[in-house]
Amino acid sequence: MLKAGDKAPEFELYATPDQKIKLSEFKGKNVILAFYPADWSPVCSDQMALYNEMLKFFNKYNADIMGVSVDSKWCHLAFEQDRKLHFPLLSDFEPKGAVSKAYGVYDEKAGESKRALFVIDKDGIIAWSYLSPTAINPGADGILDALEELTK
């Protein structure tokens, strides 16, 4: 798993069925990547709902959050609409798990992303990372602490 000080690998993933997002588009902003196993699972649903509620706090730190899983762009679209999420979910679907692998958080046995968080600074360097047990919602405290450190 990548750690603080590592350069965040570039990627381009679908955020909607017809729109891709590149990490490099966010140069000059802090970025939070929340890798998670699957849409619709109870822990993932709670985690993404929490981040939706935390958007105004992330914005105070000039930070955008994106969820990343190996689910398809169509699955993400349905999940985002059902949960009324106001941040993008990125589809690491094909080649399956390529971005999760680049960040060192792909679970080969389960065929899905591990539950991991990355805070990337405005220059594209990982400032903080955390690997959470799959069945545990990691919350937002670590993210906020990392963003606070970036302002010092």
Residue 11 lies in a domain: no
pLDDT band at 152 (very low <50, low <70, confident <90, very high): confident
* pLDDT for position 35: 98
| Domain-located, residue 69 | yes
Q: Count of domains in the chain?
A: 1
4 within a domain of the structure (yes/no): no
| Active site residue ranges | 44
Mean pLDDT of all residues belonging to the chain: 97
Q: What is the CATH number of the domain that holds 141?
A: 3.40.30.10
pLDDT at 13 over 90: yes
**What's the mean pLDDT in 105-117?**
97
The position carrying tokens 């679209």 is: 77
Q: What is the mean pLDDT of residues 19-44?
A: 97
- The answer to the question of residue 5 being in a domain is no
Mean local confidence (pLDDT), 7-22 = 97
Instruction: Evaluate whether residue 139 is within a structural domain.
Output: yes
Give residue-wise pLDDT tens across range 112-126: 999 999 999 999 999
pLDDT at 107 over 90: yes
- Domain presence at residue 115: yes
**CA-to-CA distance for 76 and 1, rounded, in angstroms?**
24
What pLDDT score was predicted for residue 71? 97
Mean pLDDT over 91-119 rounds to 97
CA distances from 29 to 53, 54, 65, 69, 120 (A): 20, 17, 11, 22, 9
> Is the pLDDT confidence value at 102 over 90?
yes
Map tokens 């609409």 to a residue: 81
Residue 72: domain span: 37-150
98 lies in some domain = yes
| Contact between 65 and 87 (Cβ < 8 Å) | yes
Report the pLDDT value the prediction gives residue 123, as an integer from 0 to 100.
96
